[in-house]
C-alpha cells in the first residue's frame, strides 16, 4: 500500500478548518502530524474540541464516545525537543531539571543502557514514518505540518525512505518493554496466559472502553491492540491509576494502588513479527500477546516491598522501585 500524506498550507493548525474539504470539516478518516513550534520534548495526542479528563460513565456506549471525540482530526503533536539528538536531549533534560521539573530519565542501577532505552532516542523521522504508514494502512488521510523554517515534504519523504519497517529490530529499539495492570486483572491474565486488547475484551465480556478512546479521541482501531511502553515510561502506571479512579490521571504523585508491572522482551516480539508501531505507541501487538515466550518478569509491591514498609504508593515511586528490581535481575537474561 502506498503511503500518502498531504502538506498543510502555511499557518494551518489542527484547530483550523480542513483545507482539503469543501466545507472545512474533518471526519474519522482524517489525522495529522503537527510539529509544535515549541522547544519541549512533550508528545501530545488528541482531537481539538474533545472532552479531556472528564469522568468516564459506566457502561458508556459508542454515542457517548462519538460526542467526546471532538470535531478535528486525530492529532500527533510533538514539540521541537523531540527532534533532538541524544546530546541535545541531555541539554534539554538538564534545563528541565534546573526549572525544577521532574524528568523520567535516570536508569536503574545496574541497568543495561541499550536494553532499556536503545542506542539512541527514537527520532522524529522514525515516529513520522511509523505514523504515516500506520494511518495509511487504516485508510486515514494524514495532514503533515512542520514550522515555517522546516520543509515538511522533504522531511516526510526522507522519513519514509530512511526508516525501515518495524519487522526488524532497529537501533533505537530497546529490548525491554512494559505493560501495567491492576492486581485483579493480573490474576485473569495469568489464567488465560495472554494480554488481550480492549476491543477483544469488550467483544467477549462487555468490558468498559479504554481510557484512551474517551480522553484522547483515539481512532477505534487503537483498541484492537495491546500497548507496550518503554521501561522508563510512567504512562502504564497512569493507566492503572486512571482505571481505579474512572478518569484520566497524569499526576505522578497522586496516591494509587500499584498493580503488576510486566516486563516483555521486545526484540523477540519484533523478530517474531508481532510488533506494530503507530509512531505514538512505539510497540504494540494486535489483538492478543501471549505471555509465553515474551513475558520476562512480573513485578508487584510484594516483590519490591515484601515487608510492607511503604504506606502510600504513587506512580512515580512504584515505577522506580519496580525498574530497580527488574534491572538488578535482568543482567543475566540471554539475548533474544
Residue with cell 483545507: 19
Q: What is the pLDDT of residues 235-260, one digit of tens each?
A: 889 888 888 877 777 777 889 999 99
- What is residue 3's three-state secondary structure? coil
Is 221 a residue whose pLDDT tops 80? Answer: yes
Q: What is the pLDDT of residue 135?
A: 93
Is 284 a residue whose pLDDT tops 90? Answer: yes
Query: For 99, how many CA atoms within 13 A lie in the half-sphere containing its CB?
Result: 10
pLDDT averaged over every residue in the chain? 79
Q: What single string gives the DSSP state of each residue in 212-268? A: HHHHS---GGGGGEEEEEETT-SHHHHHHHHHHHTS----TTS-B---EEEEEEHHH
Q: What is the pLDDT of residue 56?
A: 43
Percent of the chain at pLDDT exceeding 90: 42
Q: Which residue has the higher pLDDT, 73 or 101?
A: 73
* Helices and strands, number each (H, E), in the chain: 12, 13
CA distances for 112 relative to 82, 155, 331, angstroms: 23, 32, 7
CA distances for 273 relative to 198, 244, 276, angstroms: 21, 33, 9
Cell numbers placing 200: 477483544
Q: What is the pLDDT of residue 81?
A: 65
Over residues 291-309, mean pLDDT: 96
64: how many CB neighbours lie within 10 A of its CB? 15
| Beta strands, E only, the chain | 6-7, 30-34, 43-46, 74-78, 141-145, 176-181, 194-196, 225-230, 260-265, 275-276, 283-286, 288-290, 295-299
Cα 50 to Cα 319: distance, rounded to the nearest angstrom: 30
Q: Is 336 exposed, middle or buried (0-12, 13-18, 19+ CB in 10 A)?
A: middle
Over residues 315-324, mean pLDDT: 90
CA distances for 52 relative to 30, 55, 66, 71, 253, angstroms: 20, 9, 13, 13, 20
Q: What is the pLDDT of residue 314?
A: 93
Q: What is the pLDDT of residue 37?
A: 84
Confidence of residue 111 (pLDDT cuts 50, 70, 90): very low
Q: Of the candidates 274, 267, 150, 18, which has an alpha carbon nearest to the alpha carbon of residue 159?
A: 150
Cell numbers placing 97: 531539571
Q: What is the pLDDT of residues 5-16, one digit of tens each?
A: 999 999 998 889
Strands of the sheet containing 43-46, edge to edge, are: 6-7, 141-145, 30-34, 74-78, 43-46
The β-bridge partners of 44 are 77
CA distances for 80 relative to 182, 222, 291, 318, angstroms: 35, 25, 37, 30
Write phi, then psi, for 222 (nearest 5 degrees). -60, -30
Radius of gyration of the chain from Cα atoms? 20
Over residues 266-279, mean pLDDT: 93
DSSP class of residue 132 equals: H
Is 98 a residue whose pLDDT tops 50? Answer: no
Q: If residue 158 lies in a helix (H) or strand (E), which one and from where to where? A: helix 152-162
Q: What is the pLDDT of residue 39?
A: 73
Over residues 284-302, mean pLDDT: 96
Over residues 41-53, mean pLDDT: 64
Cell numbers placing 55: 469522568
Q: Which residue has the higher pLDDT, 133 or 205?
A: 133
Over residues 226-234, mean pLDDT: 87
Q: What is the pLDDT of residue 82?
A: 65
Q: What is the pLDDT of residues 118-165, one digit of tens each?
A: 433 457 888 899 999 999 999 999 999 999 999 999 999 999 999 888
Q: What is the pLDDT of residue 234?
A: 83
CA distances for 246 relative to 45, 58, 59, 123, angstroms: 20, 9, 12, 34
Amino acid at each position: 500500500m502506498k503511503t500518502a500524506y498531504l502538506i498543510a498550507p502555511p499557518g494551518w493548525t489542527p484547530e483550523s478548518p480542513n483545507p482539503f474539504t469543501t466545507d472545512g470539516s474533518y471526519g474519522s478518516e482524517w489525522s495529522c502530524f503537527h510539529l509544535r513550534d515549541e522547544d519541549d520534548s512533550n508528545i501530545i495526542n488528541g482531537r481539538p474540541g474533545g472532552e479531556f479528563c472528564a469522568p468516564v460513565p459506566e457502561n458508556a456506549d459508542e454515542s457517548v464516545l462519538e460526542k467526546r471525540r471532538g470535531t478535528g482530526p486525530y492529532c500527533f503533536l510533538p514539540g521541537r525537543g523531540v527532534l533532538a539528538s541524544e546530546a541535545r536531549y541531555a541539554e534539554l533534560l538538564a534545563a528541565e531539571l534546573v526549572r525544577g521539573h521532574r524528568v523520567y530519565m535516570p536508569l536503574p542501577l545496574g541497568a543495561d543502557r541499550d536494553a532499556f532505552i536503545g542506542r539512541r532516542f527514537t527520532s522524529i523521522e522514525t515516529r513520522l514514518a511509523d505514523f504515516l504508514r500506520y494511518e495509511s494502512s487504516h485508510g486515514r488521510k494524514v495532514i503533515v505540518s512542520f514550522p515555517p523554517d522546516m520543509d515538511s515534504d522533504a522531511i516526510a519523504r526522507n522519513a519514509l525512505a530512511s526508516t525501515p519497517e518495524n519487522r526488524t529490530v532497529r537501533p533505537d529499539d530497546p529490548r525491554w518493554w512494559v505493560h501495567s495492570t491492576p492486581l485483579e486483572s493480573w490474576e485473569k491474565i495469568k489464567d488465560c496466559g495472554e494480554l488481550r486488547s480492549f476491543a477483544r475484551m469488550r467483544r467477549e465480556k462487555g468490558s468498559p472502553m479504554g481510557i484512551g478512546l474517551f480522553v484522547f479521541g483515539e481512532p477505534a482501531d487503537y483498541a484492537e491492540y495491546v500497548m507496550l511502553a518503554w521501561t522508563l515510561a510512567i504512562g502504564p502506571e497512569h493507566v492503572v491509576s486512571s482505571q481505579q479512579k474512572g478518569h484520566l490521571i497524569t499526576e505522578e504523585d497522586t496516591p494509587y494502588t500499584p498493580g503488576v508491572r510486566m516486563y516483555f522482551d521486545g526484540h523477540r516480539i519484533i523478530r517474531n513479527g508481532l510488533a506494530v508501531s503507530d509512531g505514538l505507541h512505539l510497540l504494540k501487538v494486535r489483538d492478543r500477546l501471549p505471555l509465553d515466550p515474551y513475558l520476562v518478569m512480573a513485578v508487584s509491591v510484594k516483590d519490591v516491598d515484601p515487608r510492607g514498609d511503604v504506606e502510600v504508593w504513587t506512580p512515580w515511586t512504584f515505577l522506580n522501585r519496580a525498574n530497580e528490581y527488574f534491572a538488578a535481575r535482568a543482567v543475566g537474561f540471554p539475548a533474544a
